[in-house]
Chains A and B, each alone.
Chain A
Amino acid sequence: MEHRLLSVTHSTLREDNNLSPKSAAAVLSLITNPFTSDSTLSSLLEALVLRLHNPNSNSDHQKVLSLLSALSHHHPRLGHRIAAAAHAFILLPSTPTPSLPHALSLLDPAHPFQTDPFSDESLFLSLCFWQCVKTRRWILRNLSKFRVRPSVLITVLLGFTKDPYPYIREAALDGLVMLSNGIVVEDPSLVEGCYFRAVELLFDAEKSVRLSAVRAVSEWGHLLLALKGDKTQREWSDALFVQLCLMIRDTDAEIRVAAFNALGKIRTVSEDILLQTLSKKTLAATKEKKYPGQYTAKLFNIPATAAAFTFVHGLEDEFYQVRRSACHALQMLTVLSAEFSGGAVHVLMDILNDDSMVVRFQALETLHHMAMHDHLKVEESHLHMFFGTLLDNNGLIRSAARKALQFTKLQKLAMFRSCVNGLIKNLELYPQDEAEIFNVLYKIGRTHGKFVTSIIHEVSQELEPSFDGKLSFDKKRTAALLVLAISAPVSLERSICSIPPRIYSYAVTLLGRLSSGLVHVMDQNTLLAYLSHCSKFTVASTSENFEGELLNFDLKNSFTHLWKKSDAFSFPESMELKKVTTPVHGYLLNSHIKATSCVEIVLWKVVELWPLIKLRCMNDVVQTLRSWKEELRNFSCNSRHPAGVLGFALRYLHVIKLLGKAWACYFSQRNLQFTEMGVLEALLHKMESRLKEMLCRHAGLSRGEKLHILELMLVAYTLRLSCGVTSYFEDYINKLKNVLCLVEYLQKEGLVELSHFVNELQNISCEIGHSEDGFIYKLDRLQKSLNLFSLKHIVLSGELKYLDAEVDVCDNEFQNPLPFIPGLPVGIPFDITLYNISSETRLWITTTLGEKSAQFVFLDLSEFGGSNEMRRFTFLSPFFRTPLAKRFSLKVSIAMECLSEDQHFKHCNGPKHELIHLCKGKEVHLSMPVK
């Protein structure tokens, strides 16, 4: 059967006349039948390809191509051959234009041919301007496959926004959105042109066009903002906001969702306008304001009042998708203004009554977010709704409610009491939430110390054992109150805690349950120690005795406070001070803590800063890092350079700070402006040199540690390369390649799993091979690869030694210079101390005079005595090129030749590799002797 069919089809395929539907069906049946043999398929393929390439068979290319695509679909292994045939077909001069899209879709853009049709601009343009609408639509939908200059793309897309066919307009707008993510446009009028064109299409009759226009307005609006100077940026940001507000009254729900999503992305909006979004009446502040934009198809000025009631409309919407999106946009914008948040709370509290779970959840998330930014002002009228969610029958909602609650500030005791009651009711109804409820109770107790104290006093009777001597601690309410009680001493309010100590001893009986609730705050041993510490005082003395330590506690807790802030961004629960507070509590209890374990903890916590960095909350990150550094410095007492692991950790934190800043700078300034570029480059430069230092100046780094540092280096290089404007592009490509080689080498030594980021870089590098400028074409992939990077936990495996040096010249200062005679060499006596430097290290004394090139003198360590740990010796080094001057000063430092760097230096008689300075430059003053 198969053969019969094959022979029939072969003969029809060879004939010149048209392929009849019947024979096409026969071919298709052969293709789709899974039992067709390989030989048949391959001969079929040959016949089809022959027919395709035959210039005489003009009319049925489409049929043959669709058969080929079916073949490629059913038998992917033939894909390569089919792609090759299609490629050849495209290059044929006789090929009719309408067949091109079909043929192009058979190619795989990931495997470029030598003459790649996807980077052929003239082909691209001829398809674009072909009279068939279908072709145009195809090309617009497949823009991403083509590697055409952005300037050409943008022109074509902009032109097509005027197309009479709505689908073409829509596709063009989508293309513009896609383009806006990957290009740098410096011409403000072009960006403005695109923006206003998209704005015009917000008034299109076709709703799919309007939908795409909303996205395009949002994206190009942001590009426009980036191009505007600081002064007008605010104004334009407001204009964009108001323009998008107009769309939330569209009658299509999808457009409303898109509009709210876009609103949520705007980073700065005037408070007046935000307040207007909550009020239907025109506010005095926005009454007269007008912005450039489009109000209706005819009116080219958009009044600020167009924003009126935006968010209430959104939250009242019929579709839960719109309500959720509006809630989310609120979450993003409430950060901007406390007054706006205050107004938004009223609406949000009503939303907690929504019938859609998703919306309720998002509303709680928004409240949580507001609480994190200290913008949540809960009023008594809200409590009913707010605490009502604690009793929701959906666990997720309850959990979200507690999350929002734990950072809420309650103004009055009555409110706090009803909050506690709400939580206790929650506990009674849903015992499965116990651990979380304890956690929340502990946290709100900590922030409302005064209220806790008075509540505990009110209910202390309840907590006492009953007359028959039995404790009713199995009651859930009692347990909850005990948790509240134990939170009081660590209250951040520094209030005098007068909770009867025996309560703490009662709490001990519930140790297991309590500790499971507080597992994120402290472990069981710490809790026990803490409870026994609190309960060992008797009667009224608690407050006085405790006060001293309380202060101490508060100090440590300010650290906790900081954490609280950083928690603002929906962190995993582990973000809590699980381990860090452990030493804190322990410290209080005089248990000895080693610096190393503290370092371990800090290094472990650093990883959790990564999400914050990604969110570009650099203030929090920097603060946290600073506090950690201080914490760590406490251990290093008085040594100049904190040695070993501690020093390593400090430097590591510094690098992370640089990385964070650079990352934030890079991602906030994707449309790089020149000044920002400078900042970014400076940051990256610093980071690179710090990393290099870390790599070279620590003896005893394990492979994992090295890889970690190398990965960070790769990040720095990638950042620099992908911002695209660096002046030493080639250099950095080489550097990147070198580091990749090192990584590969380290990987070969032992089986280490590399991160996705490094893997991706390796892939890119492999694909490019040795071509010099290959990377330029892979810039977008480089940029994308950054998204794969995430900070990992660096594990310090052993003791580290820090390579250090000190150099000094005896009794030399500005007042007391060394004598010299101009033009003649002078000998300078250096006192040199080296730490942890082995005798194989190639050390140089570098002497620089002004900005001129340095002079290098080699230090042969074998000549000097001492051990590797420390060497101290005096060395008389000559300086040859003394200037013709009365006095001058030299900068001297000790540098180590970094053998791993491949870069060659062209100093004759000098070091052959890059140098790492081991100490700060020391000024040496010389003067002509006064006669």
Chain B
Amino acid sequence: MAISLSASSIPRLSGENPAASSSMSPLRLRLPAGARGFGGGGRRISVNSKPRGFSLVVEAKKQTYNSFDDLLAKSEKPVLVDFYATWCGPCQFMVPILNEVSIRLNDTIQVVKIDTEKYPSIADKYKIEALPTFIIFKDGKPFERFVRCSDG
């Protein structure tokens, strides 16, 4: 039961050169169908794992976690999670903005997007209602959450 977390277009991301700028897109969490929230196993994948050839999307880096909770627990940086849906207009509006945030705050936070249609259990767990909802997780726990106001 593996979860793939993928980031695209990272020319080179290594632990010993954290100051290097990288064009990191938000990490997209991909779970196999039917995956439940809590992982067992404890298979560990190195942060600097090499790209694998079987992925459908061209990606420079792929990380595998056993569950979303696992991702939160293993992350050293705060995690900004974007709960979205494909046909939610404002969610799509935020895509380029989130990309920019992810690039600029690359060393500070990790950006993850969760498709609430694909992973309703995660959305239910965090009581997501309006979309997009952003939750910042610190030390694996929700620290701050905000929903966009449509007032200008």
Chains A and B are bound partners: no
Interface residues of B (CB under 8 A from A): none
- Chain A positions within 8 Å of B, measured between CB atoms, are none
